[in-house]
Amino acid sequence: MNILITGSSGWLAQTLIPLLRKDGHKVTGIDPKPSPLTTITGSIADRALVARTIRDNGITAIIHGGALHKPNIATNTNQDFINVNVTGTLNLLEEAIANGVDRFIFTSTTSLMISQTIRDGRGPRAVWIDETLAPLQPRNIYGVTKYAAEKLCHFFHAEHGLPVIILRTARFFPEEDDMAHAISQSEPNTKANEFLFRRLTVEDAAAAHAAALARSPEIGFDIFIVSAKTPFSPSDCEQLMTDAPGVVRRYFPDYESVYARHGWTMFPSIDRVYDAGKLERRLGFTCRTGFAEILRSLRPA
């Protein structure tokens, strides 16, 4: 396939583009920032540039990972988010239809599923989050614009039959987390804990996109949470809110001794759990790295 990757200078593309090229695909990258993986330097908000890029490179598939993200809220206006995340997505979809593109993968975010109420974590039990969660109430301009872009994707599938898969990815970026219950002075500890309920590796994120690309014509349209497989079940949610270490101990009896060797601790409370079960059932994809693999890497050789 001739694949257009948006956001080609970003974190995901550094792993995804080499993976796709290894599989024999021709990849064209577009991004406002130049990089060794970026073929076209420019913005997807530029409709004419998008049209030329798709037409001149014979693009047959699009993986749309480019966006303004949550950290950009501090430096960009609401209009900037609309221009890139909404208008940019519309440009890609319209030019995909005009130029015979036969599949479209959209990198979305689990962030748009987190309302302010969930973010505050004041309920009596952890929130079990899967694709049926409703109503969605994004709490910032990033979530609002990603949700609007998802709706555009669904509209173009319904109107034109364009195969579209939306991947709501959990955290896989290397930046320091902003969670209120992050482990002080230990970012690796925080991220290890998150593999229980809301994180994945960039390698797994890239592999999920490749799997979606392959299966999209068969599936037609769907939305998937992409996160490491949680060991928890909905029956754990009440105790997760009050005694997360106790729940983790049931599944991983030696985790405390392993953590102690590194001076690490578990969050006292976990307020949400992402369930990626649909990804496994319908797309046939499961992340290779979860908390069990992280724990194994921490055990003495």
Tokens in use for 243? 């005694």
Neighbours of 133 (CB within 10 A): 16
The structural domains of the chain, ordered by start, are 2-298 (3.40.50.720)
Residue 139: predicted pLDDT = 93
Query: Global pTM?
Result: 0.95
The pLDDT score that the predictor gives to residue 301 is 77
Q: State the pairing for strand pair 61-64/40-41.
A: unpaired
Q: Is the pLDDT of residue 178 over 70?
A: no
> Distance between CA 140 and CA 116 in Å, rounded?
9
Whole-angstrom distance, CA of residue 131 vs CA of residue 109 = 12
Write out the two tokens for 80. 């900037």
Q: What angle do CA 277, 280, 285 make, to 5 degrees?
A: 140
Q: Tell whether the model's pLDDT for residue 231 goes beyond 60.
A: yes
Question: How far apart, in Å, do the first and last CA atoms of the chain sit?
Answer: 43
Residue 236 amino acid letter:
D
Query: Phi and psi for 274 in degrees, rounded to 5?
Result: -90, 125
Q: Please, which pLDDT band fits residue 175 given cuts at 50, 70 and 90?
A: confident
Alpha carbon separation from 214 to 115, 164, 211, 218 (Å, rounded): 32, 11, 5, 9
Q: What is the pLDDT of residue 177?
A: 57
Dihedrals phi, psi of 107, to nearest 5 degrees: -85, 105
Q: How confident is the model at residue 10 (pLDDT cuts 50, 70, 90)?
A: very high
Output the 3-class SS for the chain.
CEEEEECCCCHHHHHHHHHHHHCCCEEEEEECCCCCCCCEECCCCCHHHHHHHHHHCCCCEEEECCCCCHHHHHCCCHHHHHHHHHHHHHHHHHHHHHCCCCCEEEEEEHHHHCCHHHHHCCCCCCEEECCCCCCCCCCCHHHHHHHHHHHHHHHHHHHHCCCEEEEEECECCCCCCCCCCCCCCCHHHHHHHHCCCCECCHHHHHHHHHHHHHHHHHHCEEEEEECCCCCCCHHHHHHHHHCHHHHHHHHCCCHHHHHHHHCCCCCCCCCEEECCHHHHHHHCCCCCCCHHHHHHHHCCC
- Average pLDDT for 222-236: 98
Mean pLDDT score across all residues of the chain: 95
Question: Which range, of 24-33, 120-129, 172-181, 270-279, averages the lowest pLDDT?
Answer: 172-181
pLDDT band at 300 (very low <50, low <70, confident <90, very high): confident
